[in-house]
Structure 1
Amino acid sequence: MRDLARMTRAELAEFIRDGGGADYAELMREADRLRHLSYDNEVYTRGLIEFTNFCKNDCLYCGIRRSNPYAERYRLTQRQILECCSLGWELGYRTFVLQGGEDPYFTDERIERIVYSIRSTHPDCAVTLSIGERSRESYQRFYNAGAQRYLLRHETANDEHYHKLHPAAMSPENRKRCLWDLRDIGYQVGAGFMVGSPFQTPEYLADDLLFLQELQPHMVGIGPFIPQKDTPFGTFPSGTVEQTLLLLAMLRMLLPTALLPATTAVGTLDPLGREKALKAGANVVMPNLSPTDVRKKYLLYDNKICTGDEAAECRFCIQGRVERAGFRLTVSRGDHKEWRMQHDAIGS
């Protein structure tokens, strides 16, 4: 098995273009071994709360983009968010992920109050935010309020590709600045990208892998691109589960202790997609805690699964899937191990 960490951009691109070639089977075995070495057969669970689908941005691939006139907008109140967390706590979740569009209504003060309220009610839980690009000062305020994790997909590390996916008002430089700020503050940082997005090339994917090696995030979320019919990319083909699994295994090789989700998107394209992702090196699942009456409104892409399930259904469905795949769903915060050791050492 070739050492991916020593490959050049051209070599990584060729490896991706060949689908791993003769090394594919060994890559999958090694990814599984490395996941087991760091996390045994444990799979961490996070309770996802999609609390707003308003967004000021106009990303060309996203179903909740600002200019989509067909998106049925909603916002959860702080009370509704806390109710989701209380239900999640009863179901065994010890991490809550607040995900939403970049909604100006949710000011720094509102986010601070929500984070503080969750941590006050459930002091042993972890709060993860996934609310887009903010200032360093904002990120520091959220961290001080009790948020310790932040998910911000970089989407693509190649500047040319980034501008093909986003409006002119957005910049790859600011996206990356946010990620470095989050790392510097002390968050467990999650980055990531879409696999098979419009205009993507193996060279662009190699750029993603090289950027992630530099950033050294604690979590990397990747999933296949799936079009949403009311966006400019609505007629583009989806990415593939096969290429997503290849890149998951490559990420496990390049970032052996990273937290890698088996995303809903792979489950949308393949009924066994999440199980396959776990066997390719993933070790996180994120069932949905959002109220069922808003699930179908948070449609970043078409045909998303589990939009009609109650929270308990999602919880026990994913547990069954994880166990049938040969893994064990754990009831814990599921911190990145190296981050946990560092923060234990400084008493935080």
Structure 2
Amino acid sequence: MKPNSPGASRHQIQNHFFTTPTEELVQRGFATCQQTMGKSVLLRGLIEFTNHCNCNCLYCGIRRGNQAIRRYRLAEEEILELVARGRELQLSTFVLQGGEDPEWHTDRICRLVERIKAFTGPAAAVTLSCGNRTPAEYRSMASAGADRYLIRFETSDPELYARLHHGQSLAERLDAVRAVQAAGLQTGSGFMTGLPGQTVETELNNILLSKELELDMVGVGPFIPHPQTPLASSRQQGLEATIRATALLRLALPQAHLPATTSAGSLAADGREQMIAAGANVLMPNITTKDFRKDYALYPGKICLDETDIEGAVQGLVPTLATLGKKLSFARGDAPIWSSSNQQI
């Protein structure tokens, strides 16, 4: 696999999707990851800074309509303290994830990014994940020093998307993804496997859409029904679809960063390890203050809620990664495609 390989074609992905056994697909995904990304598994420090959200998505535990959840917003100083702690642990990327919270307006987010960058300098990257904004707002975030932005499309089926998001359109979401790219931010998106109403064809199209968008990062994880949502009684599927999607994404986008997601680890004890074995190359330890971590309840059964020793939890991954031929990396880890394009980051 050459460093600038475009990856498997649409036809090849379709063929693998329908005909390649999971064990072989996993082997292919892992081998491609080794060739293009090496042995390193990158670490990103996750800070869930607000669980307030104006959206009412049917699957999400922090949806506006969930009255059973304790709401919180971290103060800027609390976030900066978490960044300082993360730097002590040698973390070089911080992912600030939150709901679409009107009190965290764009000017405030930009001020926070500027303060983080003043502390870390260029050695650390800031990734934002705070929902739909305007193109001008994405440009403002980039000007403030943000490096990356995550905005998942969740499903490639327009009708299903509208049903899950109370009439919001998939087209608008994809316009937002493209606006993030146009703003000069490294761009992440992704989807869920096993969503109620999602067909086999949609599962394939999720992967093909990720390839079409030429994403720098792709997050994929299983749908897990939350008891305080309208989808509480939906059937829980297993992890195989997520593992297959990980391998296929690695073949389709060999240079994209693929996280081994917490939702996979919540569904299966070795879920994250299975994703790494299929081609994932990123882990995102949660460094949010323990008192608030349990309240960012996107889905039930979330792992790592009670960890107090983040450093120990991170280092505890080392033996498992070694068995997979992998090692932890504290590098900033910009997307290879992005770095090779000679963009300023």
Q: CA deviation at 1:250?
A: 0.6
For normalisation by structure 2, the TM-score amounts to: 0.93
- Summarize the Cα distance change of 1:320–1:146 in structure 2 as closer, same or farther, 3 Å threshold: farther
Find the aligned partners of 2:303 and 2:212 in 1 and give their Cα distance: 34
Find the aligned partners of 1:38 and 1:200 in 2 and give their Cα distance: 31
Query: What's 1:182 paired with?
Result: 180
Maintained 8 Å contact 1:60/1:165: yes
Find the aligned partners of 2:130 and 2:344 in 1 and give their Cα distance: 28
Maintained 8 Å contact 2:10/2:208: no
Find the aligned partners of 1:49 and 1:6 in 2 and give their Cα distance: 35
Query: What's 2:73 paired with?
Result: 75
Unaligned runs of 5+ in 1: none
Find the aligned partners of 1:6 and 1:268 in 2 and give their Cα distance: 31
Query: What's 2:199 paired with?
Result: 201
Percent identity, aligned pairs only, is: 40
Counterpart code for 1:331: F
Maintained 8 Å contact 1:323/1:329: no
Find the aligned partners of 1:347 and 1:80 in 2 and give their Cα distance: 29
Query: What's 1:167 paired with?
Result: 166
Residue deviations 1:60-117 (CA, integer Å, cap 9, x gap): 0000000100011000000000000000010110000000000000011110111001
1:191 aligned residue (157, 166, 189): 189
Query: What's 2:31 paired with?
Result: 33
Maintained 8 Å contact 2:225/2:231: yes
Maintained 8 Å contact 1:248/1:281: yes
Q: CA RMSD in A?
A: 1.7
Counterpart code for 2:303: I
Maintained 8 Å contact 2:246/2:278: yes
2:11 aligned residue (7, 11, 14): 7
> In terms of mean alpha carbon deviation, does 87-96 or 321-330 score higher?
321-330
Aligned ranges 1:72-221 → 2 under 5 Å: 72-123=70-121, 124-168=123-167, 170-221=168-219
Residue deviations 1:196-239 (CA, integer Å, cap 9, x gap): 01111111112212211210100100001001100000111223
> In terms of mean alpha carbon deviation, does 236-245 or 259-268 score higher?
236-245
Find the aligned partners of 1:73 and 1:302 in 2 and give their Cα distance: 16
Unaligned runs of 5+ in 2: 1-6
Query: What's 1:223 paired with?
Result: 221
Structure 1 counterpart SS, 2:236: coil
Q: CA deviation at 1:321?
A: 3.5
> In terms of mean alpha carbon deviation, does 235-244 or 221-230 score higher?
235-244
Maintained 8 Å contact 1:44/1:284: yes
